[in-house]
Amino acid sequence: MAGKKTSQKWKLYEVKDGKISRKNRFCPRCGPGVFMADHKNRWTCGRCGYTEWKK
């Protein structure tokens, strides 16, 4: 029987000086609340598929 996969959203935030900050960017198409995945050579939105290539 496979175990239930737990949420990993806590990895997208960090606390500095008592304030919460986001590590990843938001998607410019979907707006605030939808994070983009940070890959080796690109940023990708998992919801709409928008991609920005890193230089």
- Domain boundaries along the sequence of the chain: 25-54
26 annotated to bind ligand = no
Whole-angstrom Cα distance, residue 44 to residue 16?
26
pLDDT above 70 for 7: yes
48 annotated to bind ligand = yes
Tokens encoding 28: 């410019």
Residue (of 49, 22, 24) closest to 38 by Cα position: 24
Tokens encoding 31: 């707006």
Give one word for 51, left, alpha or beta, with left for phi > 0 and alpha for psi -120 to 50.
beta
9 annotated to bind ligand = no
Could you report the per-residue pLDDT of 18-33, keeping only the tens digit for each?
Answer: 999 998 899 999 999 8
Binning pLDDT at 50, 70 and 90, where does residue 1 land? low
